[in-house]
Every structure is written in structure tokens, then in C-alpha cells.
Amino acid sequence: DAGITQSPRHKVTETGTPVTLRCHQTENHRYMYWYRQDPGHGLRLIHYSYGVKDTDKGEVSDGYSVSRSKTEDFLLTLESATSSQTSVYFCAISEPDREAAFFGQGTRLTVV
């Protein structure tokens, strides 16, 4: 794995509660991403960051917010979790001069 750690790896939470997922990288890569994987949809981009404090929305950003206060950390927050946010969440990193992004191991989130 390309020096990417996601935490927690598994989480069960109740509807309406806030949840924060953490992505930590040791590669000093500029770009960081949060994707979710759902059956029949592949991976869809939630939010991404192109530098410290520089973030933007992806395809499925509603109900999510992100923060990046340091190069190595990218946080994804579900402000008020809903059952539709039950999914597997992947963090990824990349650099401007490289074509591939590298993924973390994923966080399985269940909202009950």
C-alpha cells in the first residue's frame, strides 16, 4: 500500500449522528480524494483536495464535508448520517506528474 491509512476500518453508527473518517498519508502527495463504493455504481467521488485548505466537491457531495489542515490528513465528515450513506469509503492520493491514484484499504460504514 502506498502509505495510506484509513481509520476506522469499520464503523456502525446511528441515523442522525455525526461521523468523521480519517485518511492519513505518508507520501506527501498533493492531491487527496474521498470515494464511496456501492454495488452497481463503481466508485464515485465525494470530495477532493488539491492542497492544504483547498478542497472541492465531487459527484456525490451532498451530506458530506471535508477538511485538510495538513498535507498528510484528509477528513471526511458526515454531518448527520443517513442510511443511504451506508457504504465503503476509500481515500486516494495522487501527484500532478503521475497518472495513477493510489487507494487506502477502505472504511466500511453502516448507518442503522
Partner 1 sequence: DQQVKQNSPSLSVQEGRISILNCDYTNSMFDYFLWYKKYPAEGPTFLISISSIKDKNEDGRFTVFLNKSAKHLSLHIVPSQPGDSAVYFCAARTIQGAQKLVFGQGTRLTINP
For binding to partner 1 (CB under 8 A), which residues are involved?
1, 4, 31, 33, 35, 40-45, 48, 50, 56, 58, 90, 92, 94, 96, 99-106
Residue (63 or 106) nearer to partner 1, CB: 106
DSSP state of 9: S
Q: Name which of 40 and 53 has its Cβ closer to partner 1.
A: 40
What is the CA 67 to chain-centroid distance, rounded?
Answer: 10
Catalogue the long-range contacts made by 55-63 (C-beta closer than 8 Å, 24 or more residues apart).
Answer: 58/33, 58/34, 60/36
CB of 100 to partner 1, least distance (A): 4
Q: Name which of 58 and 63 has its Cβ closer to partner 1.
A: 58
User: DSSP letters along 34-86, please?
Assistant: EEEEETTTEEEEEEEEEETTEEEE-TT-TTEEEEEEETTEEEEEESS--GGG-
Smallest gap, in angstroms, from Cβ of residue 88 to partner 1?
9
CB of 16 to partner 1, least distance (A): 28
